[in-house]
Structure 1
Amino acid sequence: MQHSTPAAPAVRETLDRLLASQTFGRSERARELLRYLVEREQSGEADKLKGFSIAVDVFGKDAGFDPSTDAVVRVQAGRLRELLEQYFTTEGAAEPIRIVIPRGSYIPSYEPNGVGIPFQPSTGQRQAPFVLDHIPATISPEAIAIQTPSNSVSGDASGATATLFRHLHVFWVAVAVIFIVMITFTVLMLRQTYGPGLNPAGSANGGGPAAASATATTLEKLPSVYLIASQKNPQIQRVETILRAGLSNMETVQFIDLNPDGDAARMEDPTAFVFTLGSGAAVGSVAIEVKNLKTGRILTSETLSAFETTASQVADRIAKILGSVTGPFGSIYGYIEQNRLQNDLTSCLILSKTYPSNQSAENHEAAYRCLENLIAHGEASALIYAALAGQQLDAVVWGYAYPPNPSVQQAMAYVNKAIQIDPSSSRAYRMAAYAEGVLGNQKERVRWAKKAYDAAPYDLRAVYHYGWALVMVGDYREGTALLARSLNLANPHSKWLDYALFQGAFMLDDLELQKRAAQALSTVEPQPEYLVAQLIVASKDGKRDEAARLLSDLNARFPDFTANPRETFAKRSYPPEMIEKFIRGLQAAGLNGAT
């Protein structure tokens, strides 16, 4: 089949609209990858679009990159295909052409999208002239002599045909140009009427222009974050590439990929912040400074050594910085809270950090009601609905009195709404994983958690969820390694993560990790499983008095659990071998109900 491409200007225009779309607005990695693939293909370098070159040029990998062990290119290409499909069925439904990345290849192809556009054979794949390279024996050489227009009727006919096709080509080019102009004019008129949040497909982003406008308004309430590289060298560029990719997937901030110097309004915004990169004092080191744009106050300042900027180290370092700066526990939200700069959205996010640190019913209800109030007042964002889904699931798991009659079904309704608003929301994927875990669908839990991890690989919260999902499906070694690694990078963090680490470490008989997790769980509002972890560790460690105190506390606080712990473990969908090992551990610690 002949491969055809549209005229280059049409590809460029489609690419520009696509990169500026809402669909690609929160995925910097997908934008960079798509731009790179299309521009290289259009410049005649399609043969160079291989996994290795993409990894080095787009994702900052070094010459030691091994595509057989590092799937970053395959994962991001799969994500790009999903976003392209979403765009051309929603915002880009009226595009003249479709940009497609065929599976098994990184070379873009182009397809007509139902409207006229001038197509031409692609570079390097033009149809070759017809050449008869084998003359059948039954035909004499004289019979195939080339005819010229002056001595052949067939030559006249072919010339007339060619002329006709030239006229038709000009005609269709003119029709296509007029059609594109009409579409552009119509879109501009509609944008004047409905504003920049227009979504031609209506419901795909949560209900058309009104929902898109509500989403944009909600996003504006998040702290704004900029990124500036004051110098350029290979180390700074590698850090900048990963930091940009990470910031674009952090849902608790609004990353603006522009230089703030050109945005006077933002320079005066008290909740606008900037990451600045420059050379450190040592050779090859990179200095990272985070400060408030308006006041110039520095929130974070640290230097990555030359070793920490290498491909094997830099991802974890950036993940740690992003977690300590952009999340609800981070320095940006700490600055906002300290200076009383909260709005209704950031107030809820600040409340949401109190609850995971102390899982009391009161803290849970306060966080839940805050999110409910946002929705009641017309706020619409994937962040809000996904957070509410998590609170709903916590009410199911921990038996909180509020909200009344919590259910996994209601939580999934919130998850679906979040994904409808933002199909790339890592937080929504995480909550889908949580819901599947509560239902006992552990394989589906892993699938959703992996999807969240792929969507935001530098968000430690995505790493936690994926690690715990692996532990709960019986992949203890990899899951525990992910949990231990991410908890080493994240401080503070939600305490249920320490229990997840305990589960994995317990199944691996790693007493030191068990002690670390139990110690962290001793500082929070007790839940039955948290006390179980501390009790088992105290018993194993020979601390009889502490074990006796914990056993007494567990019996007094949670008599239903101690009467039949197996029932609780089964309800939580623990793997069968984990249930049996927990029961043996509790028996050894003296819990009579563990039979």
Structure 2
Amino acid sequence: MPPAAQIREALQRVVSSDAFARSERARDLLRYLVEQDLAGHADRLKGYSIAVDVFGKDASFDPSTDTVVRVQAGRLRELLQQYYAGEGAHDLVRITVPRGSYVPLYVAADDDAALAFPETASVETPAEEGQVTSLSPRISAADGRRSWIAYGFGALFLAGVMVGTVLQWGGGSKAVPEVQAADVPSVPQAMKSGPSSVRQQLPAIYLKVAGKSEAAETLAAVFRRGLAGFDTVSFIAREPDSLSGSTHPKTDFVFTLKSDADDVVHIELQNIASGTVLLSRNLEVKDRPQNQIEDEVADLLTSVTPVSGILFAGVAQDGAETPLIRCLILNELFYRNPNATAHQEVYACLQEFVTGELTSSLAYSELAGLHMQAIAARYEHLKDASEAQALAFARMAVQFGPNSPYAHRSMGYVLSRSSTPDEAMRWTRKAYELNMFDLGMAASYGYELIFDGLYDEGTPILKRAVQAASAHPPWWDYGLALGQLMRNELREAANAVSVLSASPRAHYRALRLVVAHELDRQSEVEGLLEQIRVGNKSFVADPLGFFRRGLYPEDLTERLMQSLTHAGLLDAS
């Protein structure tokens, strides 16, 4: 993104031009869109807000019957096209308003320059912050383990059938095209159609309520709020017009909520085309607190809607992958096993997608993360990768999806690898707030808070994710135990680390040793000392280096080192 000063100069040239001279409404609308966006309020750019703020409509404005905003936005796009075809043909920065969105994009006249502005280019904070911070060129030295965990992947592993399907796509001997940083797509190519086309690239979920019980209606309201927050599916908040397989593609699914009483609701997830039932569960609603109901729905949706969930597994099994679904599955496989070949294939897949006929906030989000991975791992196929280009991808993700949790998480991830940790945390917090039903997102956010030393804030969030999820990876328990240790909740920490007993990883064993020592469980301490001395010799040689490389907070590092010393693992000197 160009610096804000350049954008405002470009704005002034446009509104002062002959093309806009006779349209005060277009001038007012463009000024409003740009200034709101630069102030970090992109999520406010909705039809209702524009009608009230720009065109003086009152609170009774109904965008479904009053088309003033859509008409004026269409007129604005026509005038911009007219301006850049004539007197603005040589402008260095162009302002566009893509169809399907009111969030402006800023494009350099030189396609490559559009994604290669200096590293001091400003980045707006999430909507509620409204501040501007510069992106530093420095890359954090955090180890790879934490970098992809922070990005929120790995909550659940792909089903085996998905792995098999993707391997058939890739083919062991298939040549992967060379991808260079200079090949980053220009914005105009990526804006040939609106978001509605992208929705057809993702699995669609309908919602059907069978019967008229209060329990089913209550649960349906929770499902609507939950499903609306997941970027990986297209949620259609009504029942399908028909359940006939002949009228629906294999990527269409329906959640049916059925209850003949007001206590238990039967939940069923079905592929409309094949009739296959992917999930069947009963959920008790009567006399239960709302937060418990929401946590159960969060657990269910976290197992269904992410790329690692059963929905994408079903699509892969049926051979119904769209180009975007294929890219997302390749992306998930890369984060399960990061390597140059997998990175090159998924990067090429996503790049081909965004340079085609469609736009996708989700695709740009993943490209931003992959770009940062290329920098950290120094992949040869993307050796010219830069933070500025990763930032440009993240910025486009936010512009195409101003309310997208994935886009905000992407921006937070890019900034977390620079010298702006506070800025990164604000974006990550916004991602969490936009979809609190995604337990993987919640766990990542809580984990990051703990590793930033904010134990009182992060521990409850991570604890909720651990308790609500019916299955989760062990790093959730590890992070939770660290937070509980620093809050002196030793018995709770002991429960958390008990899940790690089967793992030979040094830091898991070390934390178990610390907790056992502080609870004065001497027999357990002796057993763990023997395991670590025999099986984790490199850790014993330099535990302080391990914690520092992992960017553990100083107070946490000091607590761990003291306990390991007092437990007898380290020499007191």
TM-score > 0.5 by shorter chain: yes
How far apart are the structure 2 equivalents of 1:83 and 1:459? 23
SS in 2 for 1:329: coil
Structure-to-structure mapping, 1:400-411, within 5 angstroms: 404=383, 411=390
How far apart are the structure 2 equivalents of 1:561 and 1:411? 34
Q: How far did 1:426 drift?
A: 0.5
Determine the structure 1 residue equivalent to 2:55. Answer: 112
How far apart are the structure 2 equivalents of 1:536 and 1:399? 36
**1:513–1:385 CA distance, 2 compared to 1 (3 A):** farther
**1:217–1:312 CA distance, 2 compared to 1 (3 A):** closer
How far apart are the structure 1 equivalents of 2:68 and 2:235? 36
Counterpart of 1:225, as a letter, is: I
* Alignment size in residue pairs: 426
When normalised by structure 1's length, the TM-score is: 0.59
Match of 2:105 among 194, 203, 208: 203
Q: How far did 1:451 drift?
A: 1.0
How far apart are the structure 1 equivalents of 2:68 and 2:194? 32
Kindly indicate whether residue 224 of structure 2 is the aligned counterpart of residue 244 of structure 1.
yes
How far apart are the structure 2 equivalents of 1:513 and 1:480? 11
CA contact (8 A) 2:540 2:570 kept: no
**1:448–1:219 CA distance, 2 compared to 1 (3 A):** same
Structure-to-structure mapping, 1:427-466, within 5 angstroms: 427-439=406-418, 441-466=420-445
How far apart are the structure 1 equivalents of 2:228 and 2:347? 23
How far apart are the structure 1 equivalents of 2:463 and 2:298? 14
Kindly indicate whether residue 568 of structure 2 is the aligned counterpart of residue 568 of structure 1.
no
**1:427–1:245 CA distance, 2 compared to 1 (3 A):** same
Q: Which has the larger radius of gyration?
A: 1
CA contact (8 A) 1:372 1:388 kept: no
Match of 1:370 among 346, 365, 370: 346
Counterpart of 1:254, as a letter, is: S
**1:520–1:235 CA distance, 2 compared to 1 (3 A):** same
How far apart are the structure 2 equivalents of 1:365 and 1:406? 16
How far apart are the structure 2 equivalents of 1:537 and 1:178? 63
CA contact (8 A) 1:583 1:594 kept: no
**1:275–1:483 CA distance, 2 compared to 1 (3 A):** same
Match of 2:405 among 426, 430, 435: 426
CA contact (8 A) 2:362 2:407 kept: yes
Structure-to-structure mapping, 1:224-373, within 5 angstroms: 224-261=204-241, 267-279=247-259, 283-307=262-286, 310-354=289-333, 360-362=337-339, 366=342, 369-373=345-349
CA contact (8 A) 2:307 2:328 kept: yes
Larger RCO, structure (CA 8 Å, separation 6 or more) = 2
Match of 1:501 among 480, 483, 486: 480
Give the fraction of aligned pairs with identical amino acids, expressed as a percent.
27
How far apart are the structure 1 equivalents of 2:384 and 2:332? 24
Unaligned runs of 5+ in 2: 1-39, 61-65, 80-97, 108-185
When normalised by structure 2's length, the TM-score is: 0.61
How far apart are the structure 2 equivalents of 1:182 and 1:448? 33
Unaligned runs of 5+ in 1: 1-80, 101-109, 114-118, 124-176, 191-195
**1:186–1:443 CA distance, 2 compared to 1 (3 A):** closer
SS in 1 for 2:306: coil
CA contact (8 A) 1:235 1:309 kept: no
CA contact (8 A) 1:564 1:594 kept: no
CA contact (8 A) 1:464 1:486 kept: yes
How far apart are the structure 2 equivalents of 1:408 and 1:452? 21
Match of 2:446 among 437, 459, 467: 467
CA contact (8 A) 2:232 2:306 kept: yes
Q: How far did 1:262 drift?
A: 5.2
Q: How far did 1:279 drift?
A: 0.8
Q: How far did 1:290 drift?
A: 0.9
How far apart are the structure 1 equivalents of 2:234 and 2:423? 30
How far apart are the structure 1 equivalents of 2:491 and 2:241? 50
Counterpart of 2:228, as a letter, is: S
Q: How far did 1:462 drift?
A: 3.0
**1:585–1:275 CA distance, 2 compared to 1 (3 A):** same
**1:324–1:361 CA distance, 2 compared to 1 (3 A):** closer
Q: How far did 1:515 drift?
A: 4.8
**1:431–1:594 CA distance, 2 compared to 1 (3 A):** farther
> CA-to-partner distance for each residue in 1:216-246, whole Å, 9 max, x for gaps?
5444221111111122343222221221121
Counterpart of 2:45, as a letter, is: Q
